[in-house]
Structure 1
């Protein structure tokens, strides 16, 4: 199942990016946007983290965009292994194509297994990320986004996440 979902995300991303690059120009009347981010992390006890988050948006106005973002992540260490899938809507407001404000709701499905205690659990959690950041143009209508988001639904000792603060780096094509 995991291999199928990973393959599906890769194929969708490839198709979307290839369709955007054909004939895309700053004067384009196409209002669809595509993008996403990738994350990799390493830590103690052989910890490894891999995350991908493809997104599809639609420019409601020149400065306002709404859409859907998905996320999938895998974490493993000497002690545990987890898989997490998330999906939800987002809304971005762009300020002079240099800065952006963002709201992103995600509903997560989590599968967690502790390797030594034979403990397994499936859980769900909601997150509402609010924040913003800086945008750097990398092409005619392509941008890299660097920002900081905060999950306003995060509660210490009740969340699977260790903090509500989340740095973000991503790319968007079609603005």
Structure 2
């Protein structure tokens, strides 16, 4: 069931993003924004990570945007595997369409399996990310965002995350 839901989530978010990206430049008075990011990583012990984070926002003013952000992440190594889903609101403030300040809250649903100790866990975790970054225009109303966020709710030895610091790269259409 989770595989079906994940597949549908990715297909729907991808199709929404592609449809909006095509039509966004034609309608400059539209206040809706769409975007997100896709990431992957490799490491020792056959570590592999694949993640996607679609987002939909609404311009409250020309410089303030609020919306909903989702995320899905798969991690696998010789020692463990995990699947994580997250959802929550975000708020971005744009400074001269060159920089941004952002806040987003995520509630994560985590399924974890330790292959060495034959241990399985299903857990939840909350995160409140605060940060900002740089924006580069890549089209009429499309931008690439490069920034860094910090999870102010992160606690060492209590979190499934190894650090509270999170670099990010994403795209947004409709600004």
After TM superposition, the score normalised by the length of structure 1 is 0.95
Tell me if the contact between 2:49 and 2:74 (Cα under 8 Å) persists in the aligned partners.
yes
Match of 2:10 in 1: 10
Tell me if the contact between 1:26 and 1:141 (Cα under 8 Å) persists in the aligned partners.
no
- Cα-Cα RMSD: 1.4
After TM superposition, the score normalised by the length of structure 2 is 0.95
Counterparts in 2 of 1:43 and 1:60: CA distance versus 1, 3 Å: same
Structure 1 position 22, deviation (Å): 4.2
Tell me if the contact between 2:103 and 2:129 (Cα under 8 Å) persists in the aligned partners.
yes
Tell me how far apart the structure 2 counterparts of residues 161 and 23 of structure 1 sit (CA, whole Å).
37
Tell me if the contact between 2:80 and 2:113 (Cα under 8 Å) persists in the aligned partners.
yes
User: How many residues in Structure 1 have an aligned counterpart in Structure 2?
Assistant: 175
Match of 2:69 in 1: 69
Q: In structure 1, list runs of 5 or more residues that go unmatched.
A: none
Q: Are positions 1:144 and 2:136 aligned together?
A: no
Tell me if the contact between 1:26 and 1:140 (Cα under 8 Å) persists in the aligned partners.
no
Tell me how far apart the structure 1 counterparts of residues 117 and 82 of structure 2 sit (CA, whole Å).
14
Runs of 4+ in structure 1 off by over 2 angstroms are: 21-27
Q: Are positions 1:58 and 2:58 aligned together?
A: yes
Tell me if the contact between 2:24 and 2:173 (Cα under 8 Å) persists in the aligned partners.
no
Superposed, which structure 2 residues align to 1:1-175 within 5 Å? Answer: 1-25=1-25, 28-175=28-175
